[in-house]
Amino acid sequence: MSSSVEKTSLLKLFKLNFLKKDELNCSSLEITNTKIINFNDTYRLLLSRNNGILEHWEYDMEINQWILLSILNHRNINDPTSSNTIEDFVYYVDPTTNLERVFTINGNEIITEYDLYNQCIKKQHIVNVSSDVNCIIWSININKELNKIIIGLTNNNIQIYDISSENSNELIYNSQLISSINNDEKILSISFIDDDKHVLTGTSLGKIKILSYENKNTLQVIKTLKIDNKKTINNKNKSNKKKFKKDDKVPIVWCLEYIQKYNIIVSGDSNGDLKVWDFKSSTLLQSLSISSSSTSNGGNISKAKNDILNLSYNDANDCIFTTSLDKKISMFKILKGNNGESFKVHLLTSRLVNKSTTNLSQGYDLRALHSLDNFMVIGNDKGEAQIFNQCSQFNTLDNITTTSKLPILLRQKDTIINDKIVFNLANDSLIKMYTLEGKILSKMKINPIDSFAVNKSNEIMVLYDNESTNIRSVFLEHVNNDGVLEGIKITKLPLENLPFVNDQSINKKESLRIQNIKFINDNEILILYRYNTFDFNGNVTNNNLLYKYNIEEMEYSKIKISGFFGDDNDDEDAEDELTSALIDSIEFLPENKLLITSEYKIIVLHWGENAYKLEILYEFKQHKIQICKFHSETNTVLVITKNFKILHLNLNDGSQTQWSMMNYSSFPKVVVNDMHKSSIISDMVYLPKSQKVLIYANNWILIIDLMKNLPMKSKKRKYNEILDTNDDMEHSESDSFQLITKFGSIYKIGLVSEKENEVYVINDYLQVPGSLNQKRVLTASTTSKYNF
């Protein structure tokens, strides 16, 4: 049958090995903390990275998968050049408003509050650190009543702030404890306990402090428990204690938690011990050691200390989880005695997780840990988050069947391919240009930027920052030799009369910033600005502004919205639909139309009398939009939601196509089963001159025929074999989809040529949004061509 297949039905796949994994990138991925909370009838998860990224996830009960809701980038509004690292955060649901609230600490004296719904920074609170200019916030927590925040500082000070329900945009100073002794002592963990009557801290000098807060507005140390550096197996068996050496380092209390059910404190320290303390008598009840890694030195075998870095008590399963420096996660079970009052903590199991692909005995450092109900999530220093769905059976069930991994999210807008030229933002101050065959055409060093855009003729490049109103431009002159592109010369292209460029007062007051820039044609760009306004109570309103700028004439005009579905009487309603939406993407359509996508809405605008008119507003009630793409051949849009639903719409009236009405459901079961449980769909590409669409994620490619219904049940097809360029694959006309799982780490896929079914695939890219000054390596290699 292969001889009868038309050439246009074949898919030529160009595998580009330009982007190479670089260990230097990994530091930008490191997970610093993660927490799960109950939210309505499901769960929400927040994950922080050391480059200032917050990832917001939701557990979809229908498909039993974690769905990405949004990504937030941290920035210090007062000092944009400072570190953006998120060291820790508190995350909870406000009982008065039922809204999620987040407060982060960022390695300085600032507490940052976020608005997760509007995806922006709500307020940055500078705390009073007295005269100590080097003092920073090291730990943060919230009380059970969710109305007080407590912080621990690097100079051994503690501060408490009230979270006012009447004015939720402020932290109101409550009280503090100032210690003049050991000012170099860092408070590594801190929490309210015992119904806010006490405060518990763990420090870098091996101390657990219990402070009284019963009188409110005053703090007083009532008990100090010390972790000595004598390795204790059983506190009753003194013969097992090692002798104290003067050169031994002072132990560190990395983590601790109060378990109200048993009135005990559990702590993890740099000796590798989990210690259990009786809160009432302040005595040590148990000291348990996780099996340490053994090292041999000249025949002498010694056991290395493996610090316990994190611990989390799981109330639903009455157990304690810990992560340690030897890359293990351990489960401790609390066993009750026959009398119902006595209990004992027992080490049930220790397991190496997040194993290295190159060395099975080696894993990655576990930097974050949290558990709730039957979920437990851990994050490592390579950027991977692993979720155990049934943590109660952690010791008996296989890792693969009971866990899911959150994918590392890739920043696709750093690479643009126009007319077979690859433009890559190699780091925030270097752009490289290649041919598809891997030949370097030019390098351009620039002042740091967030993103860029190139027109279709590859002659003008626009550079911009997402957190400012700065726009720059360059002209790209192509150097040809006998019709072969040999290089690109770069000259500055000054831009004048840009909107807001000189109005610094508006920029700072309203935090006006560029959200996106798109080329309308070879000489005009559309600029999307965004700013947020706050009322007295700290409520956020999102605002969008759309401007059109002509690069040649250096003139701009605001895009005005007029008329709701053609009704000129509803101009204000139409404007509100656009200005308040959280715009995710803008696409230009034929006949001078605009396709705008937000979380739940698809908005189509057409050009009217000196203004854009709102033509179609399609609103989803339950499903958030992941991707929305226009198909010019059929004048339709294909929508994929974040919970893997598919919808196909006619743009003339917003109605569903016949295919959509037959297939508005999840992807075929065989496809879903082959996806990693938490795969995030990266993008889609329409194959030219056909009704096929290519959809891909980080580890699979799916080709769907929009003329054929998707089967809900089907045997697994094998499309994993790479074929030679001249080979054809037997292709059955009854196949409505193809699934390709050959590639392990897909970064980006796009069209090479609109005239043929040619696409490129770039894989092995390890960069995430917001990372700065991290090297990204492109390596030239021979282009491989494949047919499927």
List of residues 6+ apart from 506 with CB closer than 8 A: 500, 512
Residue 86 has a pLDDT of 87
Q: What topology is assigned to 250-291+305-407 in CATH? A: Methylamine Dehydrogenase; Chain H (2.130.10)
**Cα–Cα distance for residue pair 404/387, rounded to 1 Å:** 5
pLDDT in tens, 613-642: 888 888 887 788 889 999 888 889 999 888
Alpha carbon 481 to its chain's center: 45
* Closest listed residue to residue 159, CA positions, set 173, 143, 180: 173
Task: Using alpha carbons only, give the angle 276, 281, 286 rounded to the nearest 5 degrees.
Answer: 20
Q: Where are the domains of the chain?
A: 250-291+305-407
Which range among 173-177, 505-509, 566-570, 783-787 shows the weakest confidence by mean pLDDT? 783-787
pLDDT in tens, 755-774: 767 787 776 554 433 333 33
* Closest listed residue to residue 681, CA positions, set 665, 670, 668, 695: 695
Q: In what order do the strands lie in the sheet with 451-454?
A: 451-454, 460-464, 471-481, 484-492
Residue 125 has a pLDDT of 86
**Cα–Cα distance for residue pair 445/77, rounded to 1 Å:** 26
pLDDT in tens, 493-530: 999 999 887 655 554 546 788 989 999 999 999 999 98
Residue 24 has a pLDDT of 39
pLDDT at 401 over 60: no
In this structure, what token pair is assigned to residue 739? 């699934």
Which range among 311-320, 446-455, 562-571 shows the weakest confidence by mean pLDDT? 562-571
Residue 377 has a pLDDT of 93
**Cα–Cα distance for residue pair 543/578, rounded to 1 Å:** 9
Residue 675 has a pLDDT of 58
Confidence of residue 234 (pLDDT cuts 50, 70, 90): very low
Confidence of residue 259 (pLDDT cuts 50, 70, 90): very high
pLDDT at 323 over 70: yes
Does residue 316 sit in helix, strand or coil?
A: coil
Residue 82 has a pLDDT of 64
**Cα–Cα distance for residue pair 114/102, rounded to 1 Å:** 6
| In contact, 46 and 58? CB cutoff 8 Å | no
Give mean pLDDT, residues 389-411: 72
Residue 477 has a pLDDT of 95
Which range among 395-404, 497-506, 527-536 shows the weakest confidence by mean pLDDT? 395-404
**Cα–Cα distance for residue pair 689/633, rounded to 1 Å:** 8
**Cα–Cα distance for residue pair 466/511, rounded to 1 Å:** 11
**Cα–Cα distance for residue pair 304/612, rounded to 1 Å:** 69
Residue 166 has a pLDDT of 56
| In contact, 704 and 696? CB cutoff 8 Å | no
**Cα–Cα distance for residue pair 427/148, rounded to 1 Å:** 41
* Closest listed residue to residue 208, CA positions, set 319, 282, 131, 107: 282
- Looking at residue 535, its amino acid is D
Phi, psi of 23 (to 5 degrees): -60, -25
**Cα–Cα distance for residue pair 665/649, rounded to 1 Å:** 14
In this structure, what token pair is assigned to residue 745? 């780490």
- Looking at residue 578, its amino acid is L
Give the ranges where 227-279 is alpha helix by DSSP (H): none
**Cα–Cα distance for residue pair 584/413, rounded to 1 Å:** 13
- Looking at residue 425, its amino acid is L
Residue 676 has a pLDDT of 53
Alpha carbon 96 to its chain's center: 28
pLDDT at 50 over 60: yes
* Closest listed residue to residue 414, CA positions, set 450, 382, 445: 450
Query: Which range in 104-113, 391-400, 425-434 is most confidently predicted, on average pLDDT?
Result: 104-113
**Cα–Cα distance for residue pair 763/544, rounded to 1 Å:** 34
List of residues 6+ apart from 561 with CB closer than 8 A: 571, 574, 575, 577, 578, 605, 611, 612, 613, 614
CB atoms closer than 10 angstroms to residue 255: 22
* Closest listed residue to residue 659, CA positions, set 728, 710, 596: 710
**Cα–Cα distance for residue pair 129/137, rounded to 1 Å:** 9
Give mean pLDDT, residues 89-93: 95
**Cα–Cα distance for residue pair 30/379, rounded to 1 Å:** 8
- Looking at residue 609, its amino acid is E
* Closest listed residue to residue 741, CA positions, set 764, 721, 724: 721
| In contact, 418 and 774? CB cutoff 8 Å | no
The count of C-alpha atoms lying within 13 angstroms of the C-alpha of 74, restricted to the half-sphere facing its C-beta, is 30
Instruction: Concatenate the DSSP letters of all residues of 739-751 into one string.
Output: EE---SSEEEEEE
pLDDT at 782 over 70: no
pLDDT in tens, 98-111: 889 999 998 888 89
* Residue % of the chain over a pLDDT of 90: 25
Q: In what order do the strands lie in the sheet with 524-534?
A: 513-519, 524-534, 540-550, 555-558
Residue 230 has a pLDDT of 57
Which range among 100-114, 196-210, 455-469, 719-733 shows the weakest confidence by mean pLDDT? 719-733
List of residues 6+ apart from 150 with CB closer than 8 A: 140, 141, 142, 143, 158, 159, 160, 161, 190, 191, 192, 199
| In contact, 559 and 588? CB cutoff 8 Å | no
Alpha carbon 425 to its chain's center: 20
Instruction: Concatenate the DSSP letters of all residues of 758-771 into one string.
Output: EEEEEE-----TT-
Residue 146 buriedness (CB in 10 A; 0-12 / 13-18 / 19+)? middle
Residue 445 buriedness (CB in 10 A; 0-12 / 13-18 / 19+)? exposed
Handedness of CA 702, 66, 403, 406 (dihedral sign): positive
